[in-house]
Structure 1
Amino acid sequence: MTEKLRNEKALPPKAVVDAELAPITAMMSSRLMVLANLLRRGALLRYKRLTGLSSVEFGLVASLGRRPPMSVVRLAEAVGMDKGQISRALAELVARKLVAKAANPRDNRETLVSLTKAGLVAHDAIVAGAQERNQRLLEQLGPQDLELLLGHIDRLTLTAAEMLAAERELG
């Protein structure tokens, strides 16, 4: 919502807004997904502008972070994709000298990946951008509202994880 809309137009009561929305879009989960998608899309545009990374590449660089080398399989798990899905992005990051690949000294069948110095520069730009975006969001809430919101998010996250586990059990 723009500042102009926020200042010039009083928001209608919640019940009126909910009644005007399609039932699914009035649900809390739908509203949270809209918020998450807006934040994700804005972040991806920003990181593309700052680092030139695609969304998959950004996810890989962010996941590798300032950590010790990790296996490609573990990295795929961390970003929620399979090894085949990330292989092209990893090859591009290696070609751009942002990621280094090496055989695992304990198991030559396993490939380890880590960020190079240039990759760390890209990672640090991502972190700085994330901190700026986070600060802008935090400015919208007072300390008590923030504490309350974070508590609610934690509870909802736990419930969502339980719901996911239950769905997985059902097949």
Structure 2
Amino acid sequence: MSQKPKRADPPRPGAAGDAELAPITAMMSSRLMVLANLLKRGAILRYKRLAGLSSVEFGLVASLGRHPPMSVVRLAEAVGMDKGQISRALAGLVSRKLVAKAVNPKDNRETLVCLTKAGLAAHDAIVTGAQERNRRLLEQLSQDDLDLLLGHIDRLTERAAQMLAAEKDLN
């Protein structure tokens, strides 16, 4: 019985330069983090220039958006930060009249926050800036490439969520 010789796997995109990288930096998760960090750093610079907002502030303004007032606790959950950090950033946004705070009429122990007219203008600048950055980032991809990429990202995100849940179960 003769065996067929094994075929080498075809080279993967980017694999040629991988030999020069430290093993961890060649991994998909590291590459995605580098991309995410570059995009975040560019966003921080843009939103500082467009609306005078820090990274925490633009996250809050973006999350508050054009939604009805929300509690500080709910906002903290939405942005994944602790209530203390949120409260400090909100104080700055309130002092600059971008956010309004009020006691919840249904529960006076709870504070509700929402964007003011100036806050909405900052929000709209963020959204317009984000749309422009997104367009520029993706303009080199065909619609088929984009659909394929987004499908892969969705599947990887689902798998990463499963992996996180499994890690939490082990702790």
Matched residue SS, 1:81:
coil
Measured in 2, the distance between the counterparts of 1:131 and 1:14 equals 28
RMSD: 0.9
> Hey, what does 1:10 align to over in structure 2?
none
Matched residue SS, 1:108:
strand
Matched, 1:165 2:152: no
Deviations 1:27-84 (A, max 9, x none): 0110000000000100010000000001111110000000000000000011101101
Unaligned runs of 5+ in 1: 1-12
> Hey, what does 1:8 align to over in structure 2?
none
Measured in 1, the distance between the counterparts of 2:112 and 2:170 equals 35
Matched, 1:36 2:48: no
Matched residue SS, 1:20:
coil
Measured in 1, the distance between the counterparts of 2:110 and 2:99 equals 16
Map 1:108-127; keep pairs closer than 5 Å. Answer: 108-127=108-127
Q: Residue 21 of structure 1: CA displacement?
A: 0.3
Q: Residue 138 of structure 1: CA displacement?
A: 1.9
> Hey, what does 1:14 align to over in structure 2?
14
Map 1:58-73; keep pairs closer than 5 Å. Answer: 58-73=58-73
Measured in 1, the distance between the counterparts of 2:57 and 2:114 equals 13
Q: Which amino acid aligns with 1:73?
A: V
When Rg is computed on C-alpha atoms for both structures, the one with the higher figure is 2
> Hey, what does 2:52 align to over in structure 1?
52
- What is the TM-score when the length of structure 1 is the normalising length? 0.91
Identity of aligned pairs, percent? 84
Measured in 1, the distance between the counterparts of 2:16 and 2:66 equals 48
Measured in 1, the distance between the counterparts of 2:104 and 2:147 equals 43
Q: Residue 16 of structure 1: CA displacement?
A: 2.6
Unaligned runs of 5+ in 2: 1-12
Measured in 2, the distance between the counterparts of 1:166 and 1:85 equals 29
Measured in 2, the distance between the counterparts of 1:95 and 1:83 equals 18
> Hey, what does 1:155 align to over in structure 2?
155
Higher normalized helix content (fraction of residues): 1
> Hey, what does 2:139 align to over in structure 1?
139
Deviations 1:84-116 (A, max 9, x none): 111111000000000000111110000000000
Measured in 2, the distance between the counterparts of 1:30 and 1:99 equals 36
